[in-house]
Amino acid sequence: MRNKIFLSTLYNLCIFGCIILGWTGLTDKHYEYVMAAVFGLVIFVALKIKLLKDVRNTLKP
């Protein structure tokens, strides 16, 4: 369970980093950063949802 908590924290940090990268790309007009941030954001959100479903199924009696 400790590994899943660490992984969840890591996903949260990566999602936050993608949001910051996207914001920086928008303000500096570097749209390749925005596309990379959207791509990363989709991947990390999907992985986070998968992890949350796995934890939910593990905790059910």
Q: How many residues does the chain have?
A: 61
Q: What is the value of pTM for the model shown?
A: 0.89
pLDDT of 61 strictly over 80: no
Q: Render pLDDT for 31-46 as a digit per residue (tens, 0 to 9).
A: 999 999 999 999 999 9
Look up tokens 């954001």; give the residue. Answer: 41
Amino acid 60: pLDDT:
78
Percentage of the residues of the chain whose pLDDT score is greater than 90 = 92
- The C-alpha atoms of residue 25 and residue 35 are separated, in whole angstroms, by 9
Mean pLDDT value across the chain: 95
